Amino acid sequence: MLNRRLITFLALSFVTVVFFLSDLALGSIHISLREIISVIFGKGAGGINSEILLNFRLPKAITAVLAGISLSVAGLLMQTLFRNPLADPYILGVSSGAGLGVALITMASAFIPAAVTGSGWAMILAAVAGGSLVLLLVVGVSFRVQSAVSLLIVGIMFGTIAGSLISVLQNYSNPDAIKLFVMWTFGSLSAVTWTYLQALVPVVMLGLGLSFFLKKRLDGLLLGENYARSLGISIPQTRFLIVIAAGLLAGGITAFAGPIAFVGVAVPHIARGVFRTSSHKILLPATMLCGALLLLICDIITQIPTYTLPINTVSALFGAPIIIWIILKKK
Amino acid sequence: MPQANIAKQYIMSILTTQQLSIGYSKKGKTTIVQSELDLQLIGGELVCLIGPNGSGKSTLVRSLCGLQNPLSGNVFIEGQDVSKISTAERALLIALVLTDKVEIENTTVEDVVAFGRHPYSNWWGNTSDEDVIRVKDAIEMVHLKKHQFKLLNELSDGEHQRVMIAKALAQDTPIILLDEPTAHLDLPNRVEIMMLLHRLAHDTGKAILMSTHELDLALQAADRIWLMNDDQKGVITGIPEDLVFNGSFNRTFESKSYFFNASNGNFSFNYPLTKKVWVTGDKTRLYWTLRALARAGFKVVQDAEISIEMTNSNWKIQDEVFYTIEELLAKLTRL
């Protein structure tokens, strides 16, 4: 049993590496594998191809891997916490909060100095602030609300409020500002440069570390909160830590790459299906691997047309059928 | 009771409550369900908690194990105040079997029983040799050895409940609390679970407390009964038969439509008995004949005008012979 899983894991890892290299090679300009290897190992420096690789494709591929890992693990955390197969980080309202922050920066810019709105960091900081604010509200509620289902509904309500506020802002904005905001909602992996990666990587690492630290408690939660408590797991503390971990992972990615839908809800189901387990010891790495692979595939698909498709659209095309399949299978 | 006896019982008891009041407190409004309870659980005994719906059985179970805070008073387990110890410490003292549905995909019986070892492992959940042995023993104790590697969703309801009991055993605590473990089970499985719990209490020396609606089964299986009365009238404890003889059951389950039948430990319907009849003869058919007569509204009195004579194969009224109760009742309604 363990051997079968190990073989699956190694095979998937190999496929992921292949797709990572393909992601680097494919695009409007084709770059050969030999060239990629020599650039990565610092040999063939110089030239337009190495420029594209190092400053554009490599950070984009790394972001795809990070986003796939983060959103999928955040989805797994949410599904275990809420014992709901359709829960994902967006349930917490993280992306709506981030969206509200970005909407304020792009569309209410009349009230904010141009120097602030002009830089990329402003958008990221606004997204982080908005996402964190909603997250803090949800965490605050989590101490007062007994059932996980109620918390789920509260998260959805916060998301709805943020969404409505965005609509209000759009109503009063000029078309250029609305377009800037809509572009952000499409999600973009290429917006993440090396500079941004330096901030994103620690956030993701912290979230992942926390997730692995919670492994045993996550397993315990599978029995339901009452049984988990009878096994010595402190529910308020665990719930708090899970929300923080999911917030770091999903909030961080949303802030830098925009909202990327469906990965969070779909990938944990793929991992459960492939590895046939509910144990988080296996599910956490499996989800990371499947998430990275899925988003690399999505990123490659976005480059197939002559102009680049929004990543959010492609991931939704993958995710939605999976959700339908889950519902049909449950019947 | 002499002083020495009380002291001895106190030492033997694993769980003790002192002036325990249970209920709910919401927005400053307090609803007391039961108050001033002084209860004890003794090792090696199966105790059944019974009482009418709404008397607070689940509230008591939840309060004893710390899932809910008592309104006042204390629960002591092996000398430690339950409300003053951490969730992790409590997990070493009480194991639970709840009515919560457990559905986990791709998870075997062994995996679920191993959850019982959680309180003993480190943050990552590494299993020790002792964990492996305890899990194996627990599975054997509930007779699930051959289903060890079966998936949880392949089990029957009765087997599923035995898995949860095995999980509680693996937790290796002095006390196991079960909230209606026989609900949703058919009669053979209910009897099986009761017998199992009785045997486990005696074999392991654990104190096992279960709440249940199965009065007749509880009377047979329990070493001791906690009889909970509604309207905050407290909990009466005792050996089942003593509670039958002193009329406690009758008082607790008092109703116009049924009564506690002390002769068989069941509830009997309280039919309005307007007509009179007398029954003599062979006693083997007495119980079922009386039941049918009561349903038809007949009271059995010695000076009745109608007299039924029972033999071991039929019934007689004067010289007329009836071979079924149906014929007999038809005749009686015609009279």
Domain count, chain B: 3
Q: Is A227's CB within 8 Å of B98's CB?
A: yes
Residue A5 touches partner B, C-beta closer than 8 Å: no
**Count of C-beta atoms within a 10 Å radius of residue A90:** 24
For chain A positions 174-213, those within 8 Å of chain B (CB to CB) are 213
Residue B239 belongs to some domain of the structure:
yes
Residue B99 belongs to some domain of the structure:
no
Residue B32 belongs to some domain of the structure:
yes
Q: Which of B195, B229, B256 is the last residue of a domain?
A: B256
Interface test with A, best of B97, B115, B124 (most A CBs within 10 A): B115
The alpha carbon of residue A80 is apart from the nearest alpha carbon of chain B, in Å, by 11
What CA–CA distances, in Å, run from A245 to A89, A252, A300, B197?
10, 10, 28, 42
Token pair listed for B311: 């033999």
State the pLDDT at residue B48. Answer: 96
State which residues form the domain around B137: 111-171
Residue B102 belongs to some domain of the structure:
no
State the pLDDT at residue B16. Answer: 93
pTM: 0.85
Q: B35 and B129, same structural domain?
A: no
Q: B183 and B66, same structural domain?
A: yes
Residue spans of chain A under pLDDT 50? 117, 331
Helices (H), strands (E): how many in chain A? 17, 0
The alpha carbon of residue B300 is apart from the nearest alpha carbon of chain A, in Å, by 53
What amino acid is encoded at A76 in this protein? Answer: L
State the pLDDT at residue A267. Answer: 92
Q: B306 and B288, same structural domain?
A: yes
d(CA A89, CA A73): 9
Q: B167 and B225, same structural domain?
A: no
State the pLDDT at residue A330. Answer: 61
Per the CB < 8 A criterion, the answer to whether A218 and A83 are in contact is no
- Which residues of A fall within a CB distance of 8 Å from B171? 231
- Which residues of B fall within a CB distance of 8 Å from A231? 91, 115-116, 118-119, 171
Q: B249 and B177, same structural domain?
A: yes
What is the mean pLDDT of each successive set of 10 residues along chain B, which is 335 residues long? 46 85 84 90 94 87 89 90 90 92 90 94 86 95 93 92 96 95 90 94 94 89 92 86 86 76 73 86 83 87 87 88 91 84
Q: Which of B132, B151, B171 is the last residue of a domain?
A: B171
Q: Is A229's CB within 8 Å of B87's CB?
A: yes
Q: Is B94's CB within 8 Å of A230's CB?
A: yes
For chain A positions 259-288, those within 8 Å of chain B (CB to CB) are 272, 276-279, 281
Residue B165 belongs to some domain of the structure:
yes
Q: B86 and B21, same structural domain?
A: yes
Q: B71 and B191, same structural domain?
A: yes
Q: B187 and B80, same structural domain?
A: yes
What's B72's domain CATH number? 3.40.50.300
From A316, A331, A304, A294, select the one nearest A68 (Cα to Cα).
A294
d(CA B268, CA B286): 16
Per the CB < 8 A criterion, the answer to whether B302 and B252 are in contact is no
The alpha carbon of residue B214 is apart from the nearest alpha carbon of chain A, in Å, by 24
Residue B203 belongs to some domain of the structure:
yes
Q: B123 and B29, same structural domain?
A: no
State the pLDDT at residue A16. Answer: 96
Residue B146 belongs to some domain of the structure:
yes
Q: Tell me the average pLDDT of chain A.
A: 85
Q: B196 and B67, same structural domain?
A: yes
Residue B33 belongs to some domain of the structure:
yes
Q: B89 and B196, same structural domain?
A: yes
State the pLDDT at residue B193. Answer: 93
Q: Which of B128, B153, B171 is the last residue of a domain?
A: B171
Give me the residue from B87, B96, B105 closest to A272, CB to CB.
Answer: B105
Q: B186 and B163, same structural domain?
A: no
Q: What residue ranges define each of the domains in chain A, with the CATH number in brackets? A: 2-330 (1.10.3470.10)
Residues making up chain B, counted from first to last: 335
State the pLDDT at residue B4. Answer: 46
Strand partners, B270: none
Interface test with A, best of B104, B110, B135 (most A CBs within 10 A): B104
State the pLDDT at residue A214. Answer: 96
State the pLDDT at residue B63. Answer: 92
- Which residues of A fall within a CB distance of 8 Å from B105? 272, 278
